[in-house]
Amino acid sequence: MHELQALLREYDRARSYTDELWRDLTPDEVIWRPHEDFSAIGWHLGHQAHVAHFMIRNLTAAEPSPDPALDAVMDSANPEQFRGALPTVRRLGDFRKTVAERVHTRIGNIAAGKVGAPTQMTIVATHLLSALINHEYQHDQWIGEVRAEHLGHALPTDPDSDQVRRIDGYLVLDPCL
| pLDDT tens readout for residues 67-121 | 999 999 999 988 888 888 999 999 999 999 999 999 999 999 999 999 999 999 9
Angle formed by the axes of helices 2-22 and 118-145, nearest 10°: 20
How far does Cα 42 stand from its chain's mean position? 12
Residue 150 to residues 31, 47, 135: CA-CA distances in angstroms?
13, 20, 22
pLDDT at residue 1 is higher than 60:
no
Enclosing H/E stretch for 173? strand 170-173
- pLDDT mean over 45-69: 94
Q: Residue 177's pLDDT band (boundaries 50, 70, 90)?
A: low
- pLDDT mean over 159-164: 95
Give the tens place of pLDDT for each residue, 5-17. Answer: 999 999 999 999 9
- pLDDT mean over 140-147: 97
Distance CA 8, CA 6 (A): 5
Residue 154 to residues 18, 109, 119, 151: CA-CA distances in angstroms?
14, 39, 44, 9
Least confident of 11-15, 24-28, 63-67: 63-67
Percent of the chain at pLDDT above 70?
A: 99
pLDDT at residue 19 is higher than 90:
yes
pLDDT at residue 52 is higher than 60:
yes
All domains of the chain in start order, with CATH: 2-173 (1.20.120.450)
Residues 6+ apart with CB under 8 A from 47: 39, 74, 75, 76, 139
pLDDT, position 134: 97
| Bridge partner list, 170 | 167
